[in-house]
Amino acid sequence: MKRGQLEIIGFMVIIILLLFSLIFYFKFAANDSTDLLQEAEENLEVSNLLDAIKMYTICDDTQMSDVIKSCVDGGNECDEDACAIVEREVQQIISLNGWDNDTYMFHIGDILYSQGTCKGNTFVDDYITNGETIKLTYCY
Amino acid sequence: MMETLMVAVVFMVVLIIALAFYFKFSLDSIEESGEEACLVSNTVLLVSVSSVPEIQCSINGKTENCIDTSKLIVFDPSRVYGSMFTTNCDQKVYFEQIYPEPENGTCDQNNYPDCGIFEFYDPDVSYSSSIKISTPTSLYFPLTEEYKFGKLVIEVLL
Each residue of B74-101: pLDDT tens digit? Answer: 998 887 787 777 667 889 999 999 999 9
Does A131 have pLDDT greater than 80? yes
Cross-chain Cβ contact B14/A12 below 8 Å = yes
Residue B32 to residue B18: CA distance in whole angstroms: 21
Residue A99 to residue A104: CA distance in whole angstroms: 7
* Alpha-carbon gap: A36 to the closest alpha carbon of chain B (Å): 10
> Is B98 in contact with B151 (CB distance < 8 Å)?
yes
Cross-chain Cβ contact A26/B29 below 8 Å = yes
DSSP letters, A112-132, are: E-SS----SSEEEEEEEETTE
Summarize the confidence of residues A126-136 as an average pLDDT: 95
Residue A40 to residue A35: CA distance in whole angstroms: 9
Summarize the confidence of residues A132-136 as an average pLDDT: 96
pTM equals 0.80
Q: How many domains does chain B have?
A: 1
Residue A73 to residue B32: CA distance in whole angstroms: 53
State how far the alpha carbon of B2 is from the alpha carbons of A5, A95, B10, in Å: 12, 74, 12
Which residues of chain B does A19 touch, with a Cβ-Cβ cutoff of 8 Å?
18, 22
* Alpha-carbon gap: A124 to the closest alpha carbon of chain B (Å): 15
pLDDT tens digits, one per residue of B95-121? 999 999 988 789 988 888 889 999 999
pLDDT value, residue B109: 87
The DSSP 8-state label assigned to residue B106 in this structure reads: B
Closest CB to A93 among B25, B99, B146: B99
- Using the Cβ of A44 and the Cβ atoms of chain B, whether some distance falls under 8 Å is answered with yes
Which backbone phi and psi does A107 adopt, to 5 degrees?
-110, 140
pLDDT value, residue A33: 60
Print the domain residue range for B87: 2-157
Residue B13 to residue B26: CA distance in whole angstroms: 20
pLDDT value, residue A29: 66
Q: How many CA atoms lie within 13 A of A136 on its CB side?
A: 23
Residue B38 to residue B86: CA distance in whole angstroms: 11
Compare A50 and B59 and report the one with higher pLDDT: A50
pLDDT band for position B68 (cuts 50, 70, 90): very high
Q: How many CA atoms lie within 13 A of A15 on its CB side?
A: 12
Distance of CA A18 to the CA centre of its chain: 39
From B151, B95, B150, B148, select the one nearest B122 (Cα to Cα). Answer: B95
Summarize the confidence of residues A55-81 as an average pLDDT: 94
- Using the Cβ of A95 and the Cβ atoms of chain B, whether some distance falls under 8 Å is answered with no
Q: How many CA atoms lie within 13 A of B133 on its CB side?
A: 21
Average pLDDT, chain A: 89
Cross-chain Cβ contact A56/B149 below 8 Å = yes
pLDDT value, residue A30: 58
Which three-class secondary structure state does DSSP give residue B99?
A: strand
Cross-chain Cβ contact B7/A8 below 8 Å = yes
pLDDT value, residue A117: 86
List, in order, residues 6 or more apart from B39 with CB less than 8 Å away. Answer: A37, B131, B133, B156
> Complex ipTM, two decimals?
0.81
- Using the Cβ of A59 and the Cβ atoms of chain B, whether some distance falls under 8 Å is answered with no
Compare B8 and B120 and report the one with higher pLDDT: B120
- Using the Cβ of A52 and the Cβ atoms of chain B, whether some distance falls under 8 Å is answered with yes
